[in-house]
Amino acid sequence: MDATSDPSAQESGPFERPLFDDPDARALSRVGVVDVGSNSVRLVVFDGAARSPAYFYNEKIMCALGAGLSETGHLNPQGRTRAFNAIKRFQRLAEGMGLDHLTAVATAAVREADDGPEFCEDVLRETGVVIHIIDGTEEARLSAQGVLLGWPGSYGLVCDIGGSSMELAEINHGEVGRRVTSSLGPLKLRDIKGGKKGRKAYINETLDQLRSEMGSQRNRLFLVGGSWRAFARVDMDRCNYPLNVLHEYRMTVADIHATAKYIAANDPEELRQRCGISASRMDLLPLATEVLKGVARRFKPRDITISSYGIREGMLYEQMSQRLRDRDPLIESCLFAERKDARLPGFGKSLYKYILPLFKSSKPDRLRLVKAACLLHDVSWRAHPDYRAETCFDTATRANLGGLKHPERIFLGLALLHRYRNKRDGTSFEDLFHLIDNKTIHQAEILGKAMRFGAMLWIQDYENMGSLRWFPKKRELHLLLPRHAGPLYGEVAEARFHSLCDTLDATPVVKIKR
């Protein structure tokens, strides 16, 4: 990496100052990152749990800095003006948010343009923002680390497409391995000579070279970048997919080919409006689709998933200690939410221990969802009681939560819905329920009703809540209460305990020490 100005920054790159005051702290002080890409310039301000930060502010300007670069060797003049004005705005916004520093990186267009260094110097002079130009392999590494922010310990191939380049990086057991860069960005492809035939030959030749450098990569393919997200939105439209969340959206190689045909068969403007895609992005989508088909054909991934995390999140991950990286992003964000919004922070852990006997045969993946639900069970208490259940479901299914598959979002949302409501019929989310099977729906209902009852024993002395004992063969659920907790078992608590037993198809047995 290199910066274009400021000698001290040239020595240390974009990480010349730590983003985290305490790298092991769970809380994250507000952090601002600017990504100067070939197609767009974006400001993201992160806040919240350090391991799973929330997007406090997110603004993107489509500048097309790389348009025409292959022919002129210079940044697109109109795009340069727009990008410059965008960064000036971002700098003023950062001041208003109390940020004294923006970390900015530039990728393919700025690093390849003859006037790229001049552009960075103009920005520094007018705004004080140092733009660090990173090379293609570093871009690949940071994008892969962004994927690791959301999927700790994951493995596969990360494919990050920008306007002027496309990078590949392999990840294994939380580490970034081989990585390569190419000129397969759609802005570059638009300038290839020879029309469609010449472009196809260039794409095939380049992908064959990438395949020979990267070797066999038949694991998961992680797609990073705006063009891939636009493609996924069209795939959702084709499939009439009910959950409009791009992160962790899954596709197959067959889906890629089907959606490519769908794009070709539909009116671009109608499709753009239906899918909520910008005009400039839609214009590049057919070119990106040609590349994606080629990537899928050569690497033959077992499945394909969309990552909303990329280079910006990778810059955060770069600054994390290994101890922080090893934490579960889902649990970290839930702990942060509980501490910030729950009426009695810390009760979620006790609730988890209390209802755990009902899930003692569950696998670790399910237990982490049980724990997440317990931590979130009370964070929506400020919502109106008539809408609290739906608020919980909506938050779990659509919130920025890392390390969470779409079916897991539905499970978590249903559990939290049943935390506040016995029945799930009549909600506006019924079209999402088919994304999980009936057994999983039933487990979510048990979890929700267990939390609904356990919350009735909401006492400060967590260790003296009593206990539950579940005997699945006898179909009996025993409630053991110490004498001092007996008064908590009132009429409402009794009704909720019986509702839980009905869902378990169990006989209730209540024992209160005298």
323-347 per-position pLDDT tens digit: 888 889 999 899 989 999 999 999 9
Residue 94 in domain: yes
* Res 1: pLDDT: 37
Residue burial 128-151, b: 16+ Cβ < 10 Å; e: rest: ebbbbbbebebbbbbbbbbbbbbb
Indicate if the pLDDT at residue 20 is higher than 70: no
Token duo for residue 21: 């005051």
With a cut of 70, say whether residue 428 has pLDDT above it.
yes
306 in the same domain as 175:
yes
Are 258 and 333 members of one domain? Answer: no
Those residues whose C-beta lies under 8 Å from the C-beta of residue 45, and which sit 6 or more positions away, are 30, 31, 32, 33, 55, 56, 57, 58, 94, 97, 99
Whether residues 182 and 56 fall in one domain: no
Helix axes 311-319, 136-150, angle to 10 degrees: 80
Distance of CA 415 to the CA centre of its chain: 21
Residues 189 and 122 in one domain: no
Same domain, 362 and 291: no
Report pLDDT for 400: 79
In this predicted structure, what is the pLDDT of residue 17? Answer: 52
Instruction: Please count the structural domains in the chain.
Output: 3
* Among 176, 103, 175, residue whose Cα is nearest residue 141: 176
The model's pLDDT over 214-223, given as tens digits with 9 standing for 90+, comes to 988 889 999 9
Residues 6+ apart with CB under 8 A from 390: 417, 427, 428, 429
The whole domain housing 257 covers: 137-312
For the CA atoms of 279, 282, 288, 293, the dihedral, rounded to the nearest 10 degrees, stands at: 180
Q: In what order do the strands lie in the sheet with 303-307?
A: 175-182, 166-172, 156-161, 220-224, 303-307, 250-251
* Amino acid identity at 105: V
Q: pLDDT of 92-143, one tens digit each?
A: 999 999 998 899 999 999 999 999 999 999 999 999 999 999 999 999 999 9
- pLDDT, position 460: 57
Model pLDDT, residue 16: 52
Q: Is the pLDDT of residue 201 over 50?
A: yes
Type and span of the H or E element at 29: strand 27-36
Residue 323 located in a structural domain: no
Query: What is the average pLDDT score of the chain?
Result: 91
Q: pLDDT value at position 13?
A: 57
Q: pTM here?
A: 0.89
